[in-house]
Amino acid sequence: MSGERPLRLGLVGLGTVGGGVIRLLQTNEALITRRAGRPIEVVAISARDRTKDRGVDLSRFEWVDDMMALATRDDIDVVVELIGGADGPALTLARAVLGAGKPFVTANKAMLAHHGLGLAGLAEKAGVALKYEAAVAGGIPVIKGLREGAAANEISRVYGILNGTCNYILTTMERTGRSFGDVLRDAQDLGYAEADPSFDIDGVDAAHKLSILASLAFGTELNFADVDITGIRHVIAADIAEAAALGFRVRLVGMAENSANGLFQRVHPMLVPVNHPLSHVDGALNAVVADGNFVGRLFFQGAGAGDGPTASAVVADLIDVARDEYGDPFAMPVSSLARQPKADAGKRIGRSYVRFTVQDRPGVLAEIATAMRDAGVSIESLIQRGASQEDGVLVVIVTHASAESCVIDTLARLSGSESLTGAPMVMHILD
């Protein structure tokens, strides 16, 4: 077996994940050779800056300035891309590698969300692997879980906690009672959040991942453009406290559903009941739930980011390539994926949490209650607290199950009202 020809890698991108892949291949070398059936060897590496100290010894690898050369070199069997970015060099490289008939392994969710189908088409044409386990939920084998493990099922819904930064912020707010801004600054100091955190906290990163999961789960064309995205910037400490009082925890949930009404995809802070497994997903963990018509509810949890877990997923992909166990990147030929129209989210029926910040004067509650009545939304519970917020009094409402369009209609009716001192916050409830 150790006499088998090695799988020879070109590794592009030497950030934390790239360094992690090198460390992992070295640390677990003997075991990986046994499991892969042959050695997996890094032959050539490439990154922007050759001089940077990355804490791993790179001297045994050939440094390549022009990463594009890896696509066509005869001594490279697979290219691993860890530079990121939806377009630009990563995409050029992916197209060149697959176009040259070489397998391509990537952790690049943004690129897949935007160009996944096209790249899958190239891989299919060449009959080579396009693998991306590390692109979603870090080390959790959820791409494999959907593509293969749950493949016998019609999946009606796939959802989860797909961004560790947001989950860290929300669960820290929950634990400490501190404000979003405070916790974000700490997360940035600790390296859990980027200097420019918008990709994470505005939900874009989770939406990239969700669009990939939806395609795999439903056999539909990947469609990132149709994901509705709300981040966590407007979640205030009081929302989390009120949710807790009502038996819920606030989580940024990416959720996709497929039905006769079309494809529903949304990233949105939600209220998760405390008896739901997602409510126990704390800190930087990720988790994914899939509801299948035969398997029931499958739940996967693990580390959603970090160099070790992400490297674990990248190398799992490489082992699949070394074993020659791979097939269509999105579980079926691109031409077999269904094109689903975007579902009308307004028709979804469910309970919602609505928080108003209002002036502390008579008649305000009547105004809100009237607007809800006129919009056809009935109130399950209502909490009004004393003037604890700087800018007014909080009124928190949990609605009975009603069409989401009616909740939107309520807000439209109250739009421009002088009673409201801030924008209302709507979070749907995971039932």
C-alpha 391/C-alpha 143 separation (Å) is 45
Count of residues that bind a second copy according to CB under 8 A: 61
Residue 138 φ/ψ region, left for φ over 0, alpha for ψ in the -120 to 50 degree band, beta for the rest:
left
Q: Which residue of 9, 12, 17, 36 would you call a contact of a second copy, by CB under 8 A?
A: 36
Distance (Å, rounded) from C-alpha 278 to C-alpha 251? 8
- Residue from 62, 87, 154, 391 binding a second copy (CB under 8 A): 154
Residue 50 CB neighbour total at 10 angstroms:
12
**First vs last C-alpha separation in the chain:** 51
Given the complex with a second copy, which of 167 and 402 has the nearer CB atom? 167
**What one-character-per-residue DSSP string does 371-400 give?**
HHHHHT--EEEEEE--S-BTTBEEEEEEEP
* Out of 176, 336, 381, 388, the residue judged to bind a second copy by CB under 8 A: 336
The reply, when asked if residue 262 is annotated as ligand binding, is no
Q: Under the criterion CB under 8 A, does residue 156 sit at the interface with a second copy? A: no
- Give the number of other CB atoms < 10 A from CB of residue 77: 21
Q: Which of 84, 101, 327, 350 binds a second copy (CB under 8 A)?
A: 327
301 is an interface residue for a second copy by CB under 8 A: yes
21-26 contact pairs (CB < 8 A, 24+): 21/80, 21/82, 21/311, 21/314, 21/315, 22/56, 22/58, 23/56, 23/307, 23/311, 24/308, 24/311, 24/312, 24/315, 25/315
232 near a second copy, judged by CB under 8 A: no
312 binds a second copy per the rule CB under 8 A: yes
- Give the binding range for a second copy (CB under 8 A) out of 34-42, 62-70, 157-165, 197-205: 34-42
Q: Using the rule CB under 8 A, is 393 a contact of a second copy?
A: no
Q: At what angle do helices 16-27 and 307-323 cross, to 10 degrees?
A: 60
CA 182 to chain centre: 24
Q: Does residue number 175 form part of the binding site for a second copy (CB under 8 A)?
A: no
Among 205, 320, 404, 409, binds a second copy (CB under 8 A): 320
Q: Is 219 in the site for a second copy (CB under 8 A)?
A: yes
Check the annotation: does 364 bind a ligand. Answer: no
Answer yes or no: is 191 a known binding residue.
no
Residue 16 labelled as part of a binding site: yes
- By CB under 8 A, is residue 144 in contact with a second copy? yes
Residue in 131, 144, 209, 342 annotated catalytic: 209
- Range 258-297, binding a second copy (CB under 8 A): 277, 280, 292-297
From the list 78-86, 143-151, 158-166, 423-431, the region that binds a second copy by CB under 8 A is 143-151
Q: What is the 3-state secondary structure (H, E, C) of 299-359?
A: EEEEECCCHHHHHHHHHHHHHHHHHCCCCCCCCCCHHHCECCCECCHHHCEECEEEEEEEC
14 has binding-site annotation:
yes
Q: Does 153 bind a second copy (CB under 8 A)?
A: yes
Residues 6+ apart with CB under 8 A from 420: 356, 357, 358, 359, 414
- Minimum separation from the CB atom of position 318 to a second copy (A): 8
Among candidates 147, 5, 28, which has minimal Cα distance to 74? 5
Residue 100 in contact with a second copy, rule: CB under 8 A = no
Name the amino acid, one letter, at 129.
A
DSSP state of 233: T
Q: Which of 150, 183, 235, 429 binds a second copy (CB under 8 A)?
A: 150
Q: Is-catalytic flag, 209?
A: yes
**19 annotated as ligand-binding:** yes
Is 13 assigned to a binding site?
A: yes
Rounded-to-integer distance, Cα 94 and Cα 83, Å: 11
Binding residues for L-homoserine, by number, are 194
Tell me the binding residues for NADP(+): 12-19
Active-site residues, by number, are 209
Binding site for a second copy (CB under 8 A): 1, 20, 24, 27-28, 31-32, 34-37, 133, 139-141, 144-145, 148-154, 219, 277, 280, 292-303, 306, 308-309, 311-316, 318-320, 323-328, 331-333, 336
Binding-site entries for NADPH:
109
